[in-house]
A and B are shown apart, each in its own frame.
Chain A
Amino acid sequence: MISLFKSMWQVFLHAFRKRATIQYPEHKDYLPPRWRGRIILSRDPDGRERCVACYLCAAACPVDCISLQATEDRQGRRYPSFFRINFSRCIFCGYCEEACPTDAIQLTPDFEMCEYDRQNLVYEKEDLLISGPGKYHDYNFYRVAGVAIGGKDKGGAQEEERPTDPLELAP
């Protein structure tokens, strides 16, 4: 009987505690840099698209919300002719970011993407591309990768030696 009143008193004292609620539109909570929110496509430090249209993100995506089409420019750089993410399907799992070999696709700390029209949640490449390098400031895929493109032959990448000519070793 006494304990009943004790617990009532304890509950009453909660009236003077700090509130757990964050009053959202006025006060916004801190979102850590690794927060998995709206997906973007980043550019390399030269300002060119990082995406090489390898389809790994589309393959990794558990809800199949990414679709793209690979193509190649005159220099031999692969890039997506279109890149589409359906955010009404996306579950923000971050697998696409994990799968991406060129750090092109990244998740950002932004979740405020409500729309009245469902169709507006389908983001095209223009909506996804940002002008900067995102989380990885210095990474430039074509500068470190061995693949040859126009203006950079095999062996032209950073810390890459010239390819060995097997005929040179011939007796």
Chain B
Amino acid sequence: MYSAVISLITIFGVIIAALSVSAGLIWLERRLLALWQDRYGPNRVGPFGLLQVLADMIKILSKEDWVPPFADAAVFVVAPAAIIVPVLLTFAIITYAPGIAVADLNIGLLFFLAMSSLAVYGVVLAGWASDSKYSLLGSMRAAAQMLSYEVFMSLSLMGVVMLAGSFDLKNIVEAQKGLWYVVPQFSGMLIFLTAGIAETRRLPFDLPEAEGELVAGFHAEYSGMKFALFFVEEYLGITLISVLICVLFFGGWQGPLLPPLAWLAIKTLFFICFFILLRATFPRPRYDQLMSFGWKVMLPLALLNLVVTGGIVLATR
């Protein structure tokens, strides 16, 4: 009974925390982008403009929930859910602090990779069900981009798995007690970071929704709360990738003085800001550049990283 209550609290705590962080990111991203573009950003509603999130929510909830007559209605409605569920599920396997985890899976990392593959379906279905050329182009790009960047995303994580000897995120964090994996696995970290940006379809890899050329890509036909789900998914994705980078490469909850959860939160916030800085800095590459960068540069690098790490691990055991 007691453990059931504890796990229920954890489940709702994680969901509420993840959703509120991703909602807060709407404000944070706009403020930070403004900061780096010599502007102020939203600073009118509430203290520091924090209630802007609330205003945005009210606005988007009061919008018409519109399904275009030419769309495949059933799939059109299911797609936003299909895109957000895998991301939310992935939050379940992360160990946020000793004892705070929804599911202590011993194949946690594999579960994450599987879920990030499933996330492609949401994008593809959204583009396909919209029955509009820009949506279809966007979702085709998304499918190709996410599939090819997933290949070396999983490869880049294998170095960490070899060093820790486990797929369990809890064990991986505990194995970083002496030395964070960012030191021995620096190239792996960079590759995972790049792949993570591409997986969440963030700038500079936001070709699936490239508004300059594809209107809004795969979610061009969406409005109201269904559109908001795509938005929340993007911010959830940023949060997820940031948490995972911290857990896999930057010692997770470990740190002096402060409580474990606070350390994870600080590190995660740092990487979220880093993601936004990336968006503020880089222009979007051309689509063929994106694909050739993935297959011709990142994949060989990930393989090289895998081989070298494997050799060193084999030699020192």
Interface mask (A5-42 → B, CB under 8 Å = 1, otherwise 0)? 00110011011011111010000000000000000000
Contact B36 A14 (CB under 8 A): yes
Q: Does A4 contact B (CB under 8 A)?
A: yes
Point out the residues of chain A lying under 8 angstroms from B290, CB to CB.
none
Contact B281 A11 (CB under 8 A): yes
Contact B40 A14 (CB under 8 A): no
Contact A23 B40 (CB under 8 A): yes
Contact sample, A vs B, 29 pairs, CB 8 Å cutoff:
A4-B281, A4-B282, A7-B281, A7-B282, A8-B277, A8-B278, A11-B36, A11-B277, A11-B280, A11-B281, A12-B36, A12-B277, A14-B35, A14-B36, A14-B37, A14-B38, A15-B35, A15-B36, A17-B38, A18-B38, A19-B38, A19-B39, A19-B40, A20-B38, A20-B39, A21-B38, A21-B39, A21-B40, A23-B40
A8 to B39, CA, bound (A): 18
Point out the residues of chain B lying under 8 angstroms from A8, CB to CB.
277-278, 281
Count residues of A near B (Cβ-Cβ below 8 Å): 13
Point out the residues of chain B lying under 8 angstroms from A14, CB to CB.
35-38
Point out the residues of chain A lying under 8 angstroms from B35, CB to CB.
14-15
A12 to B281, CA, bound (A): 9
Q: Which residues of B contact A (CB under 8 A)?
A: 35-40, 277-278, 280-282
The A-B contact count (CB < 8 A) is 30
B313 to chain A, nearest CB (A): 27
Q: Which residues of A contact B (CB under 8 A)?
A: 4, 7-8, 11-12, 14-15, 17-21, 23
Point out the residues of chain B lying under 8 angstroms from A7, CB to CB.
281-282
A11 to B276, CA, bound (A): 11
A8 to B157, CA, bound (A): 25
A11 to B37, CA, bound (A): 8
| Closest residue of B by beta carbon distance from A11 | B281
A17 to B38, CA, bound (A): 6
A18 to B37, CA, bound (A): 10
Point out the residues of chain B lying under 8 angstroms from A17, CB to CB.
38
A7 to B277, CA, bound (A): 10
A150 to B287, CA, bound (A): 81
| Closest residue of B by beta carbon distance from A14 | B36
A-B complex: 5 closest residue pairs judged by Cβ atoms: A11-B281, A20-B38, A8-B281, A14-B36, A15-B35
Besides A4-B282, A8-B277, A11-B281, 8 new A-B residue pairs in contact (Cβ under 8 A), listed by A number = A11-B36, A11-B280, A14-B37, A14-B38, A15-B35, A18-B38, A20-B38, A20-B39
Point out the residues of chain A lying under 8 angstroms from B38, CB to CB.
14, 17-21
| Closest residue of B by beta carbon distance from A12 | B277
A8 to B282, CA, bound (A): 8
| Closest residue of B by beta carbon distance from A7 | B281
Point out the residues of chain A lying under 8 angstroms from B280, CB to CB.
11
A38 to B36, CA, bound (A): 36
B47 to chain A, nearest CB (A): 15
A17 to B37, CA, bound (A): 9
Point out the residues of chain A lying under 8 angstroms from B36, CB to CB.
11-12, 14-15
| Closest residue of B by beta carbon distance from A16 | B35
A94 to B281, CA, bound (A): 42
A5 to chain B, nearest CB (A): 9
| Closest residue of B by beta carbon distance from A22 | B40
A118 to B281, CA, bound (A): 43
Point out the residues of chain A lying under 8 angstroms from B278, CB to CB.
8
| Closest residue of A by beta carbon distance from B278 | A8
A35 to B281, CA, bound (A): 37
| Closest residue of A by beta carbon distance from B41 | A21
B189 to chain A, nearest CB (A): 14
A15 to B39, CA, bound (A): 9
A8 to B278, CA, bound (A): 7
Point out the residues of chain A lying under 8 angstroms from B40, CB to CB.
19, 21, 23
A21 to B39, CA, bound (A): 6
Point out the residues of chain B lying under 8 angstroms from A23, CB to CB.
40
A63 to B90, CA, bound (A): 60
A171 to B35, CA, bound (A): 90
| Closest residue of B by beta carbon distance from A15 | B35
A117 to chain B, nearest CB (A): 24
A23 to chain B, nearest CB (A): 7
A27 to chain B, nearest CB (A): 12
| Closest residue of B by beta carbon distance from A8 | B281
Point out the residues of chain B lying under 8 angstroms from A15, CB to CB.
35-36
B140 to chain A, nearest CB (A): 28
A17 to B34, CA, bound (A): 12
Point out the residues of chain B lying under 8 angstroms from A19, CB to CB.
38-40
